Structures are given as C-alpha cells and as structure tokens.
A and B are shown apart, each in its own frame.
Chain A
C-alpha cells in the first residue's frame, strides 16, 4: 500500500493492518524516519517537504513492485508525508511483512534506500540563518548501490 499524505502517520494502525488476517506472516519489519533538529552545523526548527504529485506515487509503486520481485513478501506499506514538519515528527514509514524475518528486514532496508534516491521529494529547512534547500548526499547513492545486482 502506498500513501502520500499531509497528516501524521499512525504507525500502530499501519503495522496492524499489514498483517491482519494473514497467518502465513511470521514477521513485520518497519522503518520510521523522523525530522532531526540538526542540519549540517545548524539548528533546524522545521522543514517543508515538497513533492511531484503523480510521479511520487508512480515511483513508490515501482519500488514496491521491485521489492516484491526480490523477496517473498506478503505485504508492503509505504507512507510518506509532505508539507511543514517539526523536529520529532514522523516523515516516512516503510514496513514489510513476510513468512520469515530475513526477507522482511532486507526488503525494508532496500525500500528506504531506494526511496531516498528515487522518490521525488525535496526538503527545505528553516534555520537561524534562514530557509535553505537540503542537498542530496552521495552517501544515499552509495546506500542504493548496495542493492544493485
């Protein structure tokens, strides 16, 4: 399930619905991304996430399909927020369900790495020095590279 929303993410409800009624599932793995209060050397009081509506959903669906192709997954949920968020707020939830933990954990890691380099979101941070766009990190490209086969 893919969702792109302004509202907060109800992690408990999302994880519960992921496995509900399917007793083949032996494990659910999840990653929750949070807003930090530090960006480089500066304090961040808030950030605003912009996205390319339409392409975002398309890319997330492609990433989900790719995860299903690579691992035996019973269910996947990706929920990503946009709009203005403050430190401590949830930005993203990725969760996977599978019969066994290896597939669930690996697929969850894969999904967040791919999402960071492929899903068209951009962050702008509010700092004491003013508002500025966050630059992409080469570390994220390297993290995605890990999954190339």
Chain B
C-alpha cells in the first residue's frame, strides 16, 4: 500500500511517501493510524492528536472506519489551508 504524507505530517514523519505491507489485523483507517503510531518516533509525534489529522483514500476524504484494500493510495495530512 502506498502512503503519502503532506505539510507538517511529512516533516515530522520524515518522508513524503512510502510503500508498506500492512499486518493482516489492520483493516481500516483507524487501524492504520494506530499501527503507524506504534512505529514510534516521528510517526508517534505526528499522529499524537488525530483531531488535526485528515485521511484521503484514493484521493477522496474518508473517516476512520473506512476499510482499506491492497493497492489503495492513502494520504495523511493536516486540515487544508489553501485559497
């Protein structure tokens, strides 16, 4: 699965994108965020407050219960500030 990070989430995690193989128990967005946090370091710091974290799967905004499938493009980023 391809993971993309933007803005300060990218800065704290330390990379813009990565390919990961999810453990079988990770089935949805909430599970993915938990698993990433458990990797510690920049991940734990970046994902400490999930109220300021947004997730898009295949370029659409989704909630924490959204199921994940192999081959999904998952982007994790802060609330947007364009315009």
Contacts from A to B (Cβ < 8 Å): 33, 49-52, 54-55, 58-59, 80, 91-92, 112, 115-124, 133-136, 140
Contact = CB atoms under 8 A, between A and B. Distances in A.
B80 A117 contact: yes
The 7 closest A-B pairs by CB, nearest first: A121-B82, A136-B79, A122-B7, A116-B83, A55-B59, A133-B8, A134-B81
Contact of A92 (B8, B60, B79, B82): B82
Nearest to B82: A121
Interface residues of B, number: 18
B75 A51 contact: no
A55 B56 contact: yes
B35 interface: no
A121 B7 CA distance: 9
A121 B81 contact: yes
A55 B80 contact: no
A41 B40 CA distance: 34
Contacts, number: 71
Interface in B60-83: 60-61, 75, 77-83
A118 B59 contact: no
B26 interface: no
Interface in B1-27: 4, 6-8, 11
A52 B75 contact: yes
Given A52-B4, A119-B83, 4 more contacts: A115-B82, A120-B6, A120-B82, A122-B77
A120 B56 contact: yes
A122 B7 CA distance: 6
